[in-house]
Amino acid sequence: MLRYFIPDAFYDSIYDIDIAEIKRSGIRGLICDIDNTLVPYEQAEPTGQVSNWIKSVRDAGIEISFVSNNGANRVDLFNRSMGFFASSSSGKPSRRQLRAAMTAMKTEPGNTAIVGDQIFTDIVAGKRLGLHCILVKPIKENMTVFFMLKRLLEKPFILIYNIKKNRKKEQR
Ligand SMILES: [Mg+2]
């Protein structure tokens, strides 16, 4: 049960992901959460920095797709200039739209990664399918009570992730 909540990797931001390394490890498709992973909520379209990052992922030979729990207006506008597979109101941690994204990218769980800022939606959805699950820190912390509670509940899992990582380091 616990394993569904522990990411495989945890970075400050998407820009810390070593694209060459995940390519080397066999990843051919990357499912991206949008809000607070790629851009903050109020940013309607990709920033230049995000566009460049997406380009570098594509240049590495890794397909991109967007699976968001946000509505169609937001997701379609964000994806308008790019035209990747993009799913709105995806209901993560449901697996359904992750499967649809893999079909669109022609990848499978074994060669697909997901990146997102929330353990209980992005990471759990990915773990349920056996994807490589990358957690990033939210770009801008949402200060509603609901979100603060969610972050508080995430803390023990991040702690476990850090303990595991340190243990791995010591073994090396
Ligand atoms: Mg998010």
CA distance 168 to 47: 36
How much distance in Å is there from the Cα of 37 to the middle of ligand 1?
5
For 48-68, write each residue's pLDDT tens digit.
999 999 999 999 999 999 999
pLDDT at 170: 86
How much distance in Å is there from the Cα of 117 to the middle of ligand 1?
5
CA distance 112 to 102: 7
Mean pLDDT of 2-8: 95
How much distance in Å is there from the Cα of 32 to the middle of ligand 1?
9
End-to-end CA distance of the chain: 27
pLDDT at 172 over 80: no
How much distance in Å is there from the Cα of 62 to the middle of ligand 1?
21
pLDDT at 87 over 80: yes
Residue-averaged pLDDT of the chain: 96
Supply the range of the domain harboring residue 23.
2-171
Name the pTM for this structure.
Answer: 0.95
How much distance in Å is there from the Cα of 31 to the middle of ligand 1?
12
Consecutive H or E run containing 64: strand 63-67
Taking a 5 Å cut-off on Cβ, the residues next to ion ligand 1 are 33, 35-37, 117
What string of DSSP letters covers 69-97?
Answer: SS-HHHHHHHHTTT--EEESS--TT-SHH
Residue 10 three-state SS:
strand
CA distance 29 to 139: 23
**How many residues belong to the chain?**
172
How many domains, the chain?
1
CATH classification at residue 99? 3.40.50.1000
pLDDT at 113: 98
